[in-house]
């Protein structure tokens, strides 16, 4: 990255280079100078746009260990808190900063102990409120407040918690709000808490030359067999989306029974279970992850080759989030939707309209419904 245009120290440029980051993304080119310039920011940016480093780099550059607690990053999920904290740790290697992720499902006393020597906190709303109510977290010295994936947190019903947390921070602070979509609620939040912010809105990162989108029309009774057939043809790294957590468990179990290396990820699992599944998937211990939208929200893996919508998402934004999990970092990918008659067809109609001409209809042949793992035995002739 250019140290002059982005105002980065030579040490930071060198560290980025050692991680093969030599060119700033469009988000980084806009956001990093704005943060250094003291501006509030509202940015529409999707997963894979480089937005984490766009706020992590300037916060690291402007923070010293002796500063005490200086920055707070609010995120929707435990996985995202862990991943963002890992990025802060990676790129503050020479600064010796205290970086602490806080989230539910982990021992709170250990998190409280670490907070005493922390410069940057990355946390989920529920755990942050818990720490504030216990008096274990004081935000009086916060200079930077980052609200990441704001639209998803509002969808999850965190608006009251977010506003309560904001009220514990100083009025004189720099606020950075990132969201994949700038819905009306996000706009209201920004108008209430941001001061003449720099606005950045990027086009959705769905490029036809890298991402091929298709759909099959099927029936509820045949949908599972179709998924099994499609997954069995190619041993790719695949993410299968379902709308309910109990469905992820059922589908993962049925895929496993057919010899497909599949596991599930959902909000009903313990933190230890979720961490183990996420780590194993990242290290390719299995190749098919069946997940809900919320559970997969913080999952940043660049080499996912296929995204399957086993259940059709209920809105266009969720579809965009899902298909954005593949065709990342210059790689090609496929997004395949299994549209059954009824609810699936109703939800998919506006998606087709929004992505006019970009989603190809595929024809289901009889071989798609044949069992590739346990083929039917031929009937003996009399």
Whether the pLDDT of residue 116 is over 80: the answer is yes
234 with 174, same domain: the answer is no
Say if residue 119 is in the same domain as residue 251: no
pLDDT at 104 over 80: yes
What CATH number is associated with residue 293?
A: 3.40.50.300
Cα 130-131-135 angle, rounded to 5 deg = 120
Q: Indicate if the pLDDT at residue 381 is higher than 50.
A: no
25 and 170 housed in the same domain: yes
What pLDDT, on the 0 to 100 scale, is given for residue 141? Answer: 97
**Does residue 114 fall inside a structural domain?**
yes
pLDDT digits over 271-292, tens only?
788 888 988 998 899 999 999 9
Q: Are residues 26 and 131 located together in one domain of the fold? A: yes
- Per the domain annotation, does 163 fall within a domain? yes
* 176 and 221 share one domain: no
Confidence tier at 342 by pLDDT (50, 70, 90): confident
Residue 278 or 73, more confident: 73
193 and 229 housed in the same domain = no
Residue 103 confidence (pLDDT) above 60 = yes
155 & 231 share domain: no
Say whether pLDDT at 375 is over 70. no
Number of domains comprising the chain: 2
My answer on whether 194 and 217 are in the same domain is no
Assign 378 a pLDDT band (cuts: 50, 70, 90): very low
Identify the pLDDT of residue 122: 98
The reply to whether 1 falls in a domain is no
- Co-location of 154 and 226 in the same domain: no
Report pLDDT for 222. 92
Distance CA(213)–CA(333), nearest Å, equals 9
**If 0-12 CB within 10 Å is exposed, 13-18 middle and 19+ buried, where does residue 192 land?**
exposed
pLDDT exceeds cutoff 70 at 373: no
pLDDT over 50 (residue 298): yes
Q: Domain limits at 123?
A: 10-201
User: What pLDDT score does 366 carry?
Assistant: 55
pLDDT band at 357 (very low <50, low <70, confident <90, very high): confident
**What confidence tier does 359 reach under pLDDT thresholds 50, 70, 90?**
very high
> Cβ of 1: how many Cβ atoms within 10 Å?
19
pLDDT for the residue numbered 302: 72
206: in domain: no
The pLDDT assigned to 144 comes to: 98
Tell me the mean pLDDT in the region 38-42: 96
In the chain, what percentage of residues exceed pLDDT 70? 90
Question: Does residue 355 sit in the same domain as residue 309?
Answer: yes
Computed over every residue of the chain, the mean pLDDT equals 87
Label residue 23 by pLDDT band (50, 70, 90): confident
Lowest mean pLDDT among 121-135, 194-208, 234-248, 348-362: 194-208
pLDDT level of residue 363 (50, 70, 90 thresholds): confident
80 in a structural domain: yes
Percent of the chain, pLDDT > 90? 58
Domain finish residue from 201, 229, 248: 201
pLDDT per position as a tens digit, 314-338: 888 788 888 888 887 678 899 999 9
Q: pTM of the prediction?
A: 0.68
In a domain, 5, yes or no: no
Radius of gyration of the chain (CA): 22
- Among candidates 203, 245, 211, 246, which has minimal Cα distance to 336? 211
Output the pLDDT for position 329. Answer: 66
Tell me, what's the pLDDT at 2? 57
pLDDT(4) > 60: no
The verdict on 141 and 247 lying in the same domain is no
Report yes or no on 304 lying in a domain. yes
Is residue 377 assigned to a domain? Answer: no
pLDDT at 180: 77
What pLDDT was estimated at residue 374?
Answer: 33
Strand blocks (E) in the chain = 41-44, 71-74, 99-102, 120-123, 144-147, 174-179, 198-201, 211-218, 238-241, 262-265, 288-291, 306-309, 333-340, 359-362
Residues in the chain: 382
Do 249 and 336 fall into the same domain? yes
- DSSP secondary structure of 67-104: G-S-EEEE-SSHHHHHHHHHHHHHHTTTTT--EEEE-T
């Amino acid at each position: 990255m250019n140290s002059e245009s982005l105002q980065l120290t030579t040490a930071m440029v060198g560290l980025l280079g050692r991680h093969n980051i030599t060119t700033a993304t469009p988000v980084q080119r806009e956001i990093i100078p704005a943060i250094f310039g003291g501006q509030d920011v509202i940015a529409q940016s999707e997963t894979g746009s480089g937005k984490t480093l766009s706020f992590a780099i300037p916060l690291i550059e402007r923070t010293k260990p002796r500063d005490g607690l200086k920055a707070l990053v609010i995120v929707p999920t435990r996985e995202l808190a862990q991943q963002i904290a890992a990025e802060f740790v990676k790129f503050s290697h020479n600064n010796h900063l205290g970086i602490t992720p806080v989230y539910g499902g982990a021992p709170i006393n250990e998190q409280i102990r670490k907070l005493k020597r922390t410069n940057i906190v990355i946390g989920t709303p529920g755990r942050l409120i818990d720490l504030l109510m216990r008096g274990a977290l004081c935000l009086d010295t916060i200079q930077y407040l980052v609200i990441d994936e704001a639209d998803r947190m509002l969808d999850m019903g965190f608006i009251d918690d977010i506003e309560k947390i904001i009220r514990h921070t100083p009025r004189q602070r720099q606020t950075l709000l990132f969201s994949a979509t700038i819905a009306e609620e996000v706009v209201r939040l920004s108008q209430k808490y941001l001061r003449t912010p720099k606005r950045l809105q990027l086009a959705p990162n769905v490029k036809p030359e890298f991402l091929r989108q298709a759909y099959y029309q099927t029936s509820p009774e045949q949908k599972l067999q179709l998924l099994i057939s499609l997954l069995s043809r190619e041993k790719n790294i695949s993410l299968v989306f379902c709308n309910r957590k109990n469905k992820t468990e059922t589908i993962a179990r049925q895929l496993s029974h057919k010899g497909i290396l599949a596991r599930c990820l959902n909000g009903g699992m313990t933190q230890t279970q979720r961490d183990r599944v996420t780590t194993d998937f990242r290290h390719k211990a299995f190749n098919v992850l069946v997940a809900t939208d919320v559970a997969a929200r913080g999952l940043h893996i660049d080499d996912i080759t296929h995204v399957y919508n086993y259940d059709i998402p209920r809105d266009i934004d969720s579809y965009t989030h899902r298909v954005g999990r593949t065709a990342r970092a210059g790689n090609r990918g496929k997004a395949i939707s299994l549209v059954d008659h009824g609810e699936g067809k109703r939800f998919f109609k506006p998606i087709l309209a929004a992505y006019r001409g970009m989603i190809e209809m595929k024809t289901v042949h009889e071989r798609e419904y044949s069992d590739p793992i346990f083929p039917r035995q031929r009937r003996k002739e009399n």
